[in-house]
Chain A
Amino acid sequence: MNMMQPAEEIVASPATQKETIERFVETERRRQKKKVLVNRLLAAGFGIFVLLVWGFATEGGFVHRLIIPSPIDTFWAMGRVMSADYFLPNIWVTLQEILWGFAIGLASGVVLGVGVAMFDAVRATIYPYLVALQAPPKIVLAPIFVTWFGFDQPSKIAIAVVMSFFPMFLNTLTGLSAVDQNAVKLMRSLTAGRWKTFRYLLLPNALPIMMAGVKLCWTLAVLGVIVGEFVGASAGIGYLIYAMNFQLDIAGVFALIIILSLFTLVVYQLIEWLESRIIFWKQL
Protein backbone atom coordinates (compact mmCIF):
# COMPACT_ATOMS: atom_id res chain seq x y z
CA MET A 1 0.00 0.00 0.00
CA ASN A 2 0.90 3.63 -0.17
CA MET A 3 3.35 3.91 2.66
CA MET A 4 4.59 7.42 2.35
CA GLN A 5 8.10 7.99 3.56
CA PRO A 6 8.09 10.40 6.48
CA ALA A 7 11.66 11.26 5.73
CA GLU A 8 12.04 14.96 5.11
CA GLU A 9 15.80 14.58 4.94
CA ILE A 10 17.01 16.51 1.96
CA VAL A 11 18.96 14.39 -0.45
CA ALA A 12 20.41 16.33 -3.32
CA SER A 13 20.47 14.77 -6.73
CA PRO A 14 23.91 13.76 -8.11
CA ALA A 15 23.66 16.81 -10.33
CA THR A 16 24.12 18.99 -7.29
CA GLN A 17 27.66 18.01 -6.50
CA LYS A 18 28.99 17.70 -2.97
CA GLU A 19 31.59 20.40 -3.58
CA THR A 20 28.92 22.85 -4.70
CA ILE A 21 27.11 22.41 -1.41
CA GLU A 22 30.29 22.65 0.64
CA ARG A 23 31.40 25.76 -1.20
CA PHE A 24 27.99 27.33 -0.63
CA VAL A 25 28.01 26.52 3.10
CA GLU A 26 31.55 27.88 3.45
CA THR A 27 30.73 31.20 1.73
CA GLU A 28 27.55 31.56 3.76
CA ARG A 29 29.45 30.98 7.03
CA ARG A 30 32.14 33.50 6.12
CA ARG A 31 29.49 36.08 5.22
CA GLN A 32 27.77 35.56 8.59
CA LYS A 33 31.04 35.90 10.51
CA LYS A 34 31.88 39.10 8.69
CA LYS A 35 28.49 40.57 9.47
CA VAL A 36 28.82 39.78 13.18
CA LEU A 37 32.28 41.37 13.25
CA VAL A 38 31.10 44.53 11.47
CA ASN A 39 28.17 44.89 13.89
CA ARG A 40 30.48 44.56 16.90
CA LEU A 41 32.91 47.11 15.49
CA LEU A 42 30.07 49.55 14.87
CA ALA A 43 28.83 49.25 18.46
CA ALA A 44 32.32 49.52 19.94
CA GLY A 45 33.15 52.46 17.65
CA PHE A 46 30.06 54.36 18.73
CA GLY A 47 30.90 53.77 22.41
CA ILE A 48 34.44 55.04 21.93
CA PHE A 49 33.12 58.05 20.03
CA VAL A 50 30.77 59.00 22.90
CA LEU A 51 33.60 58.56 25.44
CA LEU A 52 35.87 60.77 23.34
CA VAL A 53 33.26 63.52 23.00
CA TRP A 54 32.58 63.32 26.73
CA GLY A 55 36.31 63.45 27.55
CA PHE A 56 36.99 66.27 25.11
CA ALA A 57 34.08 68.38 26.38
CA THR A 58 35.07 67.96 30.04
CA GLU A 59 38.88 67.81 29.97
CA GLY A 60 38.91 70.57 27.37
CA GLY A 61 37.05 72.81 29.75
CA PHE A 62 33.92 73.26 27.64
CA VAL A 63 31.70 71.97 30.45
CA HIS A 64 32.44 72.69 34.09
CA ARG A 65 33.78 69.63 35.90
CA LEU A 66 31.42 70.18 38.78
CA ILE A 67 28.49 69.82 36.40
CA ILE A 68 29.80 66.89 34.38
CA PRO A 69 32.92 65.04 35.59
CA SER A 70 35.30 63.71 32.97
CA PRO A 71 35.53 59.99 32.19
CA ILE A 72 38.84 59.84 34.04
CA ASP A 73 37.36 61.57 37.12
CA THR A 74 34.48 59.09 37.03
CA PHE A 75 36.87 56.17 36.80
CA TRP A 76 38.84 57.33 39.86
CA ALA A 77 35.59 58.08 41.69
CA MET A 78 34.47 54.47 41.17
CA GLY A 79 37.62 53.28 42.93
CA ARG A 80 37.16 55.83 45.71
CA VAL A 81 33.49 54.92 46.25
CA MET A 82 33.99 51.18 46.16
CA SER A 83 36.87 51.24 48.64
CA ALA A 84 35.08 53.56 51.08
CA ASP A 85 33.85 52.24 54.42
CA TYR A 86 30.26 53.28 53.75
CA PHE A 87 30.04 51.39 50.43
CA LEU A 88 29.35 47.80 51.48
CA PRO A 89 26.81 48.49 54.27
CA ASN A 90 24.85 50.81 51.96
CA ILE A 91 24.86 48.52 48.96
CA TRP A 92 23.79 45.66 51.22
CA VAL A 93 20.76 47.66 52.38
CA THR A 94 19.70 48.45 48.83
CA LEU A 95 20.36 44.91 47.63
CA GLN A 96 18.10 43.47 50.34
CA GLU A 97 15.34 45.95 49.54
CA ILE A 98 15.49 45.18 45.82
CA LEU A 99 15.49 41.41 46.28
CA TRP A 100 12.62 41.45 48.78
CA GLY A 101 10.59 43.87 46.66
CA PHE A 102 11.22 41.82 43.54
CA ALA A 103 10.38 38.51 45.21
CA ILE A 104 7.18 39.72 46.86
CA GLY A 105 6.04 41.65 43.77
CA LEU A 106 6.70 38.65 41.56
CA ALA A 107 5.01 36.12 43.86
CA SER A 108 1.93 38.24 44.51
CA GLY A 109 1.61 39.06 40.80
CA VAL A 110 1.71 35.38 39.85
CA VAL A 111 -0.69 34.31 42.62
CA LEU A 112 -3.29 36.98 41.89
CA GLY A 113 -2.84 36.56 38.12
CA VAL A 114 -3.53 32.85 38.39
CA GLY A 115 -6.45 33.50 40.74
CA VAL A 116 -8.10 36.01 38.43
CA ALA A 117 -7.47 33.88 35.32
CA MET A 118 -8.69 30.62 36.81
CA PHE A 119 -11.58 31.57 39.11
CA ASP A 120 -14.50 33.64 37.89
CA ALA A 121 -15.44 34.65 41.44
CA VAL A 122 -11.95 36.03 42.11
CA ARG A 123 -12.01 37.88 38.82
CA ALA A 124 -15.41 39.41 39.52
CA THR A 125 -14.36 40.46 43.03
CA ILE A 126 -10.94 42.06 42.58
CA TYR A 127 -10.23 42.58 38.88
CA PRO A 128 -12.03 45.95 38.53
CA TYR A 129 -10.05 47.36 41.47
CA LEU A 130 -6.73 46.08 40.18
CA VAL A 131 -7.39 47.68 36.79
CA ALA A 132 -8.30 50.97 38.46
CA LEU A 133 -5.19 50.87 40.69
CA GLN A 134 -3.00 50.13 37.73
CA ALA A 135 -3.77 53.45 36.04
CA PRO A 136 -2.06 56.09 38.27
CA PRO A 137 1.76 56.23 38.44
CA LYS A 138 2.74 54.17 41.48
CA ILE A 139 5.52 56.62 42.38
CA VAL A 140 2.93 58.95 43.95
CA LEU A 141 2.70 56.42 46.76
CA ALA A 142 6.38 56.79 47.70
CA PRO A 143 6.02 59.70 50.18
CA ILE A 144 2.96 58.08 51.78
CA PHE A 145 4.76 54.76 52.19
CA VAL A 146 7.67 56.51 53.87
CA THR A 147 5.18 58.11 56.25
CA TRP A 148 3.48 54.78 56.91
CA PHE A 149 6.43 52.40 57.05
CA GLY A 150 9.23 54.72 58.17
CA PHE A 151 12.71 55.63 56.89
CA ASP A 152 14.00 52.06 57.01
CA GLN A 153 13.77 49.19 54.57
CA PRO A 154 10.03 48.30 54.78
CA SER A 155 8.92 51.48 52.98
CA LYS A 156 11.35 50.85 50.08
CA ILE A 157 10.27 47.25 49.81
CA ALA A 158 6.62 48.35 49.77
CA ILE A 159 7.25 50.76 46.89
CA ALA A 160 9.19 48.13 44.95
CA VAL A 161 6.35 45.62 45.48
CA VAL A 162 3.69 48.04 44.27
CA MET A 163 5.74 48.91 41.20
CA SER A 164 6.74 45.40 40.22
CA PHE A 165 3.43 43.72 41.06
CA PHE A 166 1.42 45.03 38.11
CA PRO A 167 3.53 43.87 35.17
CA MET A 168 3.79 40.43 36.75
CA PHE A 169 0.07 40.29 37.46
CA LEU A 170 -0.98 41.51 34.01
CA ASN A 171 1.49 39.30 32.16
CA THR A 172 0.41 36.24 34.13
CA LEU A 173 -3.23 37.00 33.38
CA THR A 174 -2.56 37.73 29.69
CA GLY A 175 -0.39 34.64 29.35
CA LEU A 176 -2.99 32.35 30.87
CA SER A 177 -5.73 33.85 28.69
CA ALA A 178 -3.76 33.79 25.41
CA VAL A 179 -4.50 30.17 24.66
CA ASP A 180 -5.53 28.43 21.45
CA GLN A 181 -9.21 27.56 21.90
CA ASN A 182 -8.66 24.36 19.93
CA ALA A 183 -6.16 23.25 22.56
CA VAL A 184 -8.74 23.92 25.27
CA LYS A 185 -11.24 21.89 23.25
CA LEU A 186 -8.75 19.04 22.98
CA MET A 187 -8.15 19.04 26.74
CA ARG A 188 -11.90 19.05 27.41
CA SER A 189 -12.43 16.17 25.00
CA LEU A 190 -9.86 14.23 27.03
CA THR A 191 -11.98 14.88 30.15
CA ALA A 192 -9.25 17.09 31.65
CA GLY A 193 -10.54 19.26 34.49
CA ARG A 194 -9.46 22.73 35.57
CA TRP A 195 -6.26 21.64 37.32
CA LYS A 196 -5.01 19.34 34.57
CA THR A 197 -5.79 21.94 31.90
CA PHE A 198 -3.78 24.45 33.94
CA ARG A 199 -0.87 22.11 34.57
CA TYR A 200 -0.50 20.68 31.06
CA LEU A 201 -1.73 23.51 28.85
CA LEU A 202 -2.35 26.95 30.36
CA LEU A 203 0.77 27.31 32.52
CA PRO A 204 3.42 26.19 30.01
CA ASN A 205 1.60 28.19 27.35
CA ALA A 206 1.76 31.31 29.56
CA LEU A 207 5.47 31.04 30.45
CA PRO A 208 6.87 33.14 27.55
CA ILE A 209 4.63 36.10 28.41
CA MET A 210 5.20 35.56 32.14
CA MET A 211 8.98 35.66 31.66
CA ALA A 212 8.66 39.00 29.86
CA GLY A 213 6.78 40.12 33.00
CA VAL A 214 9.61 38.91 35.25
CA LYS A 215 12.08 41.14 33.38
CA LEU A 216 9.84 44.18 33.72
CA CYS A 217 9.25 43.26 37.34
CA TRP A 218 13.01 43.29 37.99
CA THR A 219 13.74 46.72 36.49
CA LEU A 220 10.72 48.23 38.25
CA ALA A 221 11.74 46.77 41.61
CA VAL A 222 15.14 48.51 41.27
CA LEU A 223 13.43 51.73 40.23
CA GLY A 224 10.99 51.55 43.15
CA VAL A 225 13.74 51.05 45.72
CA ILE A 226 15.93 53.90 44.43
CA VAL A 227 12.98 56.30 44.26
CA GLY A 228 12.01 55.27 47.79
CA GLU A 229 15.54 56.02 48.99
CA PHE A 230 15.41 59.44 47.31
CA VAL A 231 12.17 60.27 49.09
CA GLY A 232 13.35 59.38 52.54
CA ALA A 233 16.05 57.02 53.77
CA SER A 234 19.01 56.79 56.11
CA ALA A 235 20.99 54.26 54.06
CA GLY A 236 21.26 52.74 50.59
CA ILE A 237 22.58 53.55 47.12
CA GLY A 238 19.74 55.99 46.42
CA TYR A 239 20.47 57.74 49.69
CA LEU A 240 24.18 57.95 48.80
CA ILE A 241 23.43 59.33 45.33
CA TYR A 242 21.15 61.93 46.87
CA ALA A 243 23.71 62.92 49.49
CA MET A 244 26.66 63.10 47.05
CA ASN A 245 24.60 65.15 44.62
CA PHE A 246 23.88 67.55 47.46
CA GLN A 247 27.63 67.77 48.21
CA LEU A 248 28.31 68.39 44.51
CA ASP A 249 30.33 65.14 44.27
CA ILE A 250 28.98 64.51 40.80
CA ALA A 251 31.81 62.11 39.95
CA GLY A 252 30.73 60.01 42.92
CA VAL A 253 27.13 60.11 41.69
CA PHE A 254 28.25 58.97 38.24
CA ALA A 255 30.26 56.15 39.79
CA LEU A 256 27.27 54.93 41.82
CA ILE A 257 24.95 55.12 38.79
CA ILE A 258 27.39 53.01 36.79
CA ILE A 259 27.72 50.44 39.61
CA LEU A 260 23.92 50.26 39.98
CA SER A 261 23.43 49.89 36.21
CA LEU A 262 26.00 47.10 36.00
CA PHE A 263 24.34 45.24 38.87
CA THR A 264 20.85 45.59 37.34
CA LEU A 265 22.16 44.50 33.97
CA VAL A 266 23.93 41.42 35.31
CA VAL A 267 20.78 40.20 37.03
CA TYR A 268 18.75 41.03 33.91
CA GLN A 269 21.10 38.86 31.84
CA LEU A 270 20.74 36.12 34.42
CA ILE A 271 16.96 36.27 34.08
CA GLU A 272 17.29 36.13 30.27
CA TRP A 273 19.51 33.10 30.59
CA LEU A 274 16.94 31.44 32.86
CA GLU A 275 14.24 32.37 30.36
CA SER A 276 16.05 30.64 27.52
CA ARG A 277 16.23 27.51 29.73
CA ILE A 278 12.59 27.60 30.82
CA ILE A 279 11.02 28.32 27.44
CA PHE A 280 13.52 26.32 25.43
CA TRP A 281 10.96 25.54 22.70
CA LYS A 282 11.02 29.15 21.47
CA GLN A 283 14.65 28.69 20.41
CA LEU A 284 14.02 25.55 18.38
Chain B
Amino acid sequence: MTDSLIDGQHISKVYATATGPLVALDNVSFNIEEGEFISLVGPSGCGKSTLLSILGGLEEKSDGTLVLAGKHHDSPRPDLGMMLQTSVLFPWRTVRENVRLPGIILKLDKKEQAERCDELLDMVGLNGFGDRYPTELSGGMRQRVALARLLAHNPRVLLMDEPFGALDEFTRETMNVELLRIWEKTGKTVIFVTHNIGEAVFLSDRIFVMTPRPGRLEGIVEVDLPRPRTMEAMRDPRFSELVFTIRRMLGVDH
Protein backbone atom coordinates (compact mmCIF):
# COMPACT_ATOMS: atom_id res chain seq x y z
CA MET B 1 0.00 0.00 0.00
CA THR B 2 1.40 3.36 -1.01
CA ASP B 3 0.54 6.63 0.66
CA SER B 4 -0.43 8.37 -2.57
CA LEU B 5 -3.34 10.80 -2.56
CA ILE B 6 -5.20 8.62 -5.04
CA ASP B 7 -4.59 4.91 -5.44
CA GLY B 8 -6.53 3.02 -8.10
CA GLN B 9 -6.03 -0.73 -8.50
CA HIS B 10 -7.48 -2.99 -11.20
CA ILE B 11 -10.37 -0.68 -11.97
CA SER B 12 -12.80 -1.97 -14.55
CA LYS B 13 -16.07 -0.65 -15.88
CA VAL B 14 -18.57 -2.65 -17.92
CA TYR B 15 -21.74 -1.18 -19.44
CA ALA B 16 -24.75 -3.24 -20.42
CA THR B 17 -25.76 -2.18 -23.93
CA ALA B 18 -28.38 -3.39 -26.40
CA THR B 19 -25.70 -5.31 -28.28
CA GLY B 20 -24.20 -6.92 -25.17
CA PRO B 21 -21.73 -5.91 -22.48
CA LEU B 22 -19.24 -3.18 -23.38
CA VAL B 23 -15.93 -3.00 -21.54
CA ALA B 24 -15.24 0.72 -21.11
CA LEU B 25 -12.30 0.29 -18.73
CA ASP B 26 -10.17 -2.81 -18.50
CA ASN B 27 -8.01 -3.35 -15.42
CA VAL B 28 -6.60 0.14 -14.95
CA SER B 29 -4.11 0.74 -12.10
CA PHE B 30 -2.33 3.98 -11.13
CA ASN B 31 -1.19 6.24 -8.32
CA ILE B 32 -1.54 10.01 -8.17
CA GLU B 33 0.44 12.15 -5.73
CA GLU B 34 -0.79 15.28 -4.02
CA GLY B 35 -0.15 18.37 -6.17
CA GLU B 36 0.45 16.48 -9.39
CA PHE B 37 -0.90 17.59 -12.76
CA ILE B 38 -2.08 14.46 -14.54
CA SER B 39 -3.59 14.28 -18.02
CA LEU B 40 -5.65 11.43 -19.39
CA VAL B 41 -5.08 11.29 -23.14
CA GLY B 42 -6.58 9.08 -25.77
CA PRO B 43 -9.07 8.89 -28.63
CA SER B 44 -12.85 8.73 -28.14
CA GLY B 45 -13.96 5.53 -26.47
CA CYS B 46 -10.73 4.97 -24.55
CA GLY B 47 -12.56 5.37 -21.26
CA LYS B 48 -10.86 8.57 -20.13
CA SER B 49 -14.12 10.35 -19.32
CA THR B 50 -15.46 7.20 -17.64
CA LEU B 51 -12.34 7.05 -15.48
CA LEU B 52 -12.79 10.71 -14.55
CA SER B 53 -16.43 10.11 -13.60
CA ILE B 54 -15.36 7.18 -11.41
CA LEU B 55 -12.71 9.39 -9.80
CA GLY B 56 -15.44 11.97 -9.16
CA GLY B 57 -17.65 9.36 -7.53
CA LEU B 58 -20.32 9.99 -10.16
CA GLU B 59 -20.14 6.52 -11.66
CA GLU B 60 -19.74 3.13 -10.05
CA LYS B 61 -16.80 1.00 -11.01
CA SER B 62 -17.55 -2.61 -11.89
CA ASP B 63 -14.41 -3.95 -10.26
CA GLY B 64 -11.21 -2.88 -8.51
CA THR B 65 -10.39 -0.57 -5.62
CA LEU B 66 -10.10 3.19 -5.48
CA VAL B 67 -8.67 4.91 -2.43
CA LEU B 68 -8.68 8.70 -2.07
CA ALA B 69 -6.80 10.27 0.83
CA GLY B 70 -6.80 6.98 2.70
CA LYS B 71 -10.51 6.27 2.25
CA HIS B 72 -12.42 4.05 -0.15
CA HIS B 73 -14.11 6.32 -2.61
CA ASP B 74 -17.34 5.75 -4.51
CA SER B 75 -19.54 8.84 -4.17
CA PRO B 76 -19.24 12.62 -4.74
CA ARG B 77 -17.27 14.43 -2.04
CA PRO B 78 -16.83 18.13 -1.33
CA ASP B 79 -13.04 17.95 -1.57
CA LEU B 80 -13.36 17.20 -5.29
CA GLY B 81 -14.29 19.75 -7.93
CA MET B 82 -15.50 19.09 -11.44
CA MET B 83 -15.28 21.17 -14.61
CA LEU B 84 -16.86 20.08 -17.88
CA GLN B 85 -16.48 20.82 -21.57
CA THR B 86 -19.38 23.26 -21.48
CA SER B 87 -19.29 25.95 -18.82
CA VAL B 88 -22.71 24.89 -17.41
CA LEU B 89 -23.33 28.36 -16.01
CA PHE B 90 -26.90 28.99 -14.88
CA PRO B 91 -28.25 31.85 -17.05
CA TRP B 92 -30.53 33.13 -14.26
CA ARG B 93 -27.57 33.72 -11.94
CA THR B 94 -25.02 36.49 -12.36
CA VAL B 95 -21.35 35.59 -12.74
CA ARG B 96 -20.88 36.14 -9.01
CA GLU B 97 -23.94 34.08 -8.09
CA ASN B 98 -22.67 31.26 -10.29
CA VAL B 99 -19.30 31.28 -8.56
CA ARG B 100 -21.07 31.34 -5.18
CA LEU B 101 -23.18 28.27 -6.06
CA PRO B 102 -20.83 25.56 -4.66
CA GLY B 103 -20.59 27.49 -1.40
CA ILE B 104 -24.38 27.73 -1.15
CA ILE B 105 -24.90 24.04 -1.84
CA LEU B 106 -22.15 22.99 0.57
CA LYS B 107 -23.37 25.54 3.16
CA LEU B 108 -20.01 27.25 3.51
CA ASP B 109 -19.47 30.48 5.45
CA LYS B 110 -21.16 33.28 3.49
CA LYS B 111 -18.79 36.10 4.29
CA GLU B 112 -15.73 34.02 3.56
CA GLN B 113 -17.26 32.82 0.30
CA ALA B 114 -18.06 36.38 -0.79
CA GLU B 115 -14.44 37.38 -0.30
CA ARG B 116 -13.19 34.24 -1.98
CA CYS B 117 -15.48 34.87 -4.95
CA ASP B 118 -13.95 38.30 -5.52
CA GLU B 119 -10.44 36.88 -5.23
CA LEU B 120 -11.22 34.12 -7.72
CA LEU B 121 -12.82 36.46 -10.25
CA ASP B 122 -9.68 38.54 -9.94
CA MET B 123 -7.52 35.47 -10.43
CA VAL B 124 -9.26 34.39 -13.63
CA GLY B 125 -9.13 37.95 -14.98
CA LEU B 126 -12.82 38.76 -14.64
CA ASN B 127 -12.58 41.61 -12.18
CA GLY B 128 -15.60 43.85 -12.70
CA PHE B 129 -17.68 41.22 -14.46
CA GLY B 130 -19.32 39.87 -11.30
CA ASP B 131 -22.73 41.40 -11.95
CA ARG B 132 -22.96 40.39 -15.60
CA TYR B 133 -25.07 37.47 -16.73
CA PRO B 134 -23.47 34.50 -18.54
CA THR B 135 -25.22 35.26 -21.84
CA GLU B 136 -23.35 38.56 -21.93
CA LEU B 137 -19.96 36.80 -21.96
CA SER B 138 -17.89 35.15 -24.68
CA GLY B 139 -17.15 31.42 -24.65
CA GLY B 140 -13.67 31.93 -23.23
CA MET B 141 -14.96 34.21 -20.50
CA ARG B 142 -17.63 31.68 -19.56
CA GLN B 143 -14.98 28.98 -19.10
CA ARG B 144 -13.08 31.43 -16.87
CA VAL B 145 -16.18 31.74 -14.71
CA ALA B 146 -16.46 27.94 -14.65
CA LEU B 147 -12.82 27.83 -13.53
CA ALA B 148 -13.52 30.27 -10.71
CA ARG B 149 -16.58 28.24 -9.67
CA LEU B 150 -14.44 25.07 -9.72
CA LEU B 151 -12.15 26.64 -7.13
CA ALA B 152 -14.91 28.24 -5.04
CA HIS B 153 -15.23 25.54 -2.41
CA ASN B 154 -11.46 25.06 -2.37
CA PRO B 155 -11.43 21.41 -3.47
CA ARG B 156 -8.27 19.37 -3.07
CA VAL B 157 -8.57 17.60 -6.41
CA LEU B 158 -9.70 19.23 -9.66
CA LEU B 159 -11.31 16.89 -12.17
CA MET B 160 -11.44 18.55 -15.57
CA ASP B 161 -13.22 16.86 -18.47
CA GLU B 162 -11.96 18.47 -21.70
CA PRO B 163 -12.63 21.89 -20.17
CA PHE B 164 -11.25 23.84 -23.12
CA GLY B 165 -12.34 21.39 -25.82
CA ALA B 166 -15.12 23.63 -27.11
CA LEU B 167 -12.97 26.76 -27.35
CA ASP B 168 -11.14 28.00 -30.41
CA GLU B 169 -7.42 27.26 -30.64
CA PHE B 170 -6.23 30.73 -29.57
CA THR B 171 -8.52 30.96 -26.58
CA ARG B 172 -7.64 27.40 -25.58
CA GLU B 173 -3.91 28.18 -25.51
CA THR B 174 -4.50 31.28 -23.43
CA MET B 175 -6.62 29.26 -21.02
CA ASN B 176 -3.86 26.63 -20.76
CA VAL B 177 -1.37 29.26 -19.68
CA GLU B 178 -3.90 30.66 -17.21
CA LEU B 179 -4.61 27.22 -15.80
CA LEU B 180 -0.90 26.54 -15.25
CA ARG B 181 -0.51 29.87 -13.50
CA ILE B 182 -3.45 29.12 -11.20
CA TRP B 183 -2.25 25.56 -10.57
CA GLU B 184 1.22 26.79 -9.61
CA LYS B 185 -0.35 29.32 -7.25
CA THR B 186 -2.79 26.96 -5.57
CA GLY B 187 -0.92 23.64 -5.57
CA LYS B 188 -4.05 21.62 -6.37
CA THR B 189 -3.99 18.09 -7.68
CA VAL B 190 -5.36 18.20 -11.24
CA ILE B 191 -6.67 15.36 -13.36
CA PHE B 192 -7.26 16.70 -16.85
CA VAL B 193 -8.95 14.81 -19.67
CA THR B 194 -8.09 15.81 -23.23
CA HIS B 195 -7.66 14.35 -26.69
CA ASN B 196 -5.15 17.04 -27.57
CA ILE B 197 -1.66 15.60 -27.08
CA GLY B 198 0.10 18.95 -27.26
CA GLU B 199 -2.17 20.36 -24.57
CA ALA B 200 -1.46 17.37 -22.33
CA VAL B 201 2.32 17.66 -22.75
CA PHE B 202 2.26 21.40 -22.16
CA LEU B 203 0.28 21.11 -18.93
CA SER B 204 1.18 17.84 -17.23
CA ASP B 205 3.66 16.25 -14.87
CA ARG B 206 2.58 12.84 -16.06
CA ILE B 207 0.34 11.70 -18.89
CA PHE B 208 -1.82 8.59 -18.72
CA VAL B 209 -2.01 7.35 -22.31
CA MET B 210 -5.19 5.39 -22.92
CA THR B 211 -6.28 3.22 -25.85
CA PRO B 212 -9.82 2.17 -26.83
CA ARG B 213 -11.79 -1.09 -27.20
CA PRO B 214 -11.44 -2.00 -24.43
CA GLY B 215 -10.31 1.11 -22.55
CA ARG B 216 -6.81 0.40 -21.28
CA LEU B 217 -4.02 2.39 -19.69
CA GLU B 218 -1.35 1.90 -22.36
CA GLY B 219 1.38 3.61 -20.40
CA ILE B 220 2.37 6.59 -18.32
CA VAL B 221 4.64 9.29 -19.77
CA GLU B 222 6.67 11.56 -17.48
CA VAL B 223 6.91 15.10 -18.81
CA ASP B 224 10.36 16.39 -17.87
CA LEU B 225 9.98 19.88 -19.29
CA PRO B 226 11.10 22.53 -16.80
CA ARG B 227 8.59 24.57 -14.80
CA PRO B 228 7.24 27.16 -14.70
CA ARG B 229 6.26 26.73 -18.33
CA THR B 230 5.28 29.39 -20.80
CA MET B 231 4.31 29.08 -24.46
CA GLU B 232 8.08 28.91 -25.08
CA ALA B 233 7.98 25.33 -23.80
CA MET B 234 6.37 24.30 -27.08
CA ARG B 235 9.57 25.26 -28.94
CA ASP B 236 11.64 22.92 -26.78
CA PRO B 237 12.76 19.90 -28.89
CA ARG B 238 11.82 17.74 -25.92
CA PHE B 239 8.21 18.89 -26.35
CA SER B 240 8.00 17.46 -29.88
CA GLU B 241 9.76 14.28 -28.75
CA LEU B 242 7.16 13.71 -26.04
CA VAL B 243 4.28 14.42 -28.43
CA PHE B 244 5.85 11.95 -30.87
CA THR B 245 6.27 9.27 -28.16
CA ILE B 246 2.61 9.56 -27.19
CA ARG B 247 1.42 9.46 -30.78
CA ARG B 248 3.39 6.23 -31.24
CA MET B 249 1.86 4.73 -28.09
CA LEU B 250 -1.59 5.56 -29.41
CA GLY B 251 -0.74 4.00 -32.76
CA VAL B 252 -1.64 7.12 -34.69
CA ASP B 253 1.86 7.62 -36.08
CA HIS B 254 1.47 6.31 -39.60
Contacts and interface: CB of A to CB of B under 8 A. Distances in A.
B82 interface: yes
Interface in B61-93: 76-78, 80-82, 84-86, 88, 90-92
B196 interface: no
Contact of B181 (A1, A180, A190): A1
A278 to B, nearest CB: 10
A23 to B, nearest CB: 27
Interface string A1-19: 1111110100000000000
B207 to A, nearest CB: 23
A39 interface: no
Interface size class of A (residues with CB under 8 A): 20 to 34
A281 B125 CA distance: 24
A4 B105 contact: no
B181 A191 contact: no
A196 B91 CA distance: 17
Interface size class of B (residues with CB under 8 A): 35 or more
B174 A2 contact: yes
Contacts, number: 80
A2 B82 contact: no
Given A189-B80, A190-B105, A284 B136 contact: yes
27 contacts: A1-B177, A1-B230, A2-B177, A2-B178, A4-B178, A5-B125, A6-B127, A8-B138, A182-B86, A185-B82, A185-B84, A186-B84, A186-B88, A188-B58, A189-B76, A189-B80, A189-B81, A191-B76, A191-B78, A191-B105, A191-B106, A192-B105, A196-B105, A200-B104, A204-B90, A204-B92, A284-B133
Given A185-B84, A284-B133, 15 more contacts: A2-B230, A6-B125, A8-B137, A8-B141, A182-B86, A186-B84, A189-B56, A189-B58, A191-B105, A200-B101, A200-B105, A204-B92, A281-B92, A284-B91, A284-B136
Interface of B: 56-58, 76-78, 80-82, 84-86, 88, 90-92, 101-102, 104-106, 125-127, 129, 133, 135-138, 141, 144, 153, 159, 174, 177-178, 181, 230-231
